[in-house]
Amino acid sequence: MENFFLEGSTKTPELKFNGDTGSFLIEGRSIPENSIEYYKPLFEWLDAYVQAPKQKTVLEVKLEYFNTSSSKCLVEIFRKLEKAQAHGYDVQINWFYEEDDEDMQESGEDFQEIIDVPIVMNVIQG
C-alpha cells in the first residue's frame, strides 16, 4: 500500500507511516487549533492499513509538545492499532521523552493506562 507522509511545521508534527515496513513515526510539535482536521487523512489511511497490517507494527512517538485536542487524536490512532493487535498482529508503541520532562513521561503513562497496545517508555538523554 502507499505510504503516508506529511511534513511537519511549527504547529504540526511530521507523520511518516510506511505501510510496507509497518514502521511509523510521529515527531515534532502537535499544537494545531483543530487537530482533527490535521489527523483526519491519517485516520483514513490507518483504517485501510489495519485491514491488512504487517506482522509487526512499530509506532514511534517523539513529541516535544502536544495540546489536549491532539491527545484525543493520539487516542484515536492508538485505538486503530489496537484493532490490528486484536486480530493477532504484533503492535508496539515507543513513547519518547526527554530525561527531565516529567509531564511528557506522565502523558505516556496516561496512554499506557487507557490503551491496550504495549507502550514502551524511552528516555532521550539530554
Partner 1 sequence: MQPTDIIVSYKGAPSTGFLDDLLTVADDKLSVLETQSKLRKKVYHILVEVLQNIHHHYDYNSKDDNSAVMCILARNSEGGYVILTGNFVRSEEVGHLKAQIDKINSLNTEQIKELYRSTLDNGETSSKGGAGLGIIDIARRSGQPLAYEFKDYNNGSSFFSLTVKISA
- Check binding of 27 to partner 1 (CB under 8 A): no
- Check binding of 101 to partner 1 (CB under 8 A): yes
Helix (H, G, I), strand (E, B) or coil at 89: coil
DSSP type of residue 125: P
Sign for the CA dihedral angle at 111, 118, 96, 27 comes to negative
Q: Which stretch binds partner 1 (CB under 8 A): 14-22, 45-53, 85-93, 109-117?
A: 109-117
Query: Using CA atoms, how far apart are residues 54 and 7, in angstroms rounded to an integer?
Result: 24
Query: Using CA atoms, how far apart are residues 80 and 43, in angstroms rounded to an integer?
Result: 8
Q: Which stretch binds partner 1 (CB under 8 A): 14-22, 26-34, 50-58, 86-94?
A: 26-34
Instruction: Compute the least distance from the CB of residue 68 to partner 1, in Å.
Output: 4
**Near partner 1 in 43-72, by CB under 8 A:** 64-65, 67-72
Specify the residue, 57 or 70, whose C-beta has the smaller distance to partner 1: 70
- Check binding of 110 to partner 1 (CB under 8 A): yes
Query: By rule CB under 8 A, what count of residues binds partner 1?
Result: 29
Query: Do the strands 90-98 and 119-124 form a parallel or antiparallel pair, or are they unpaired?
Result: parallel
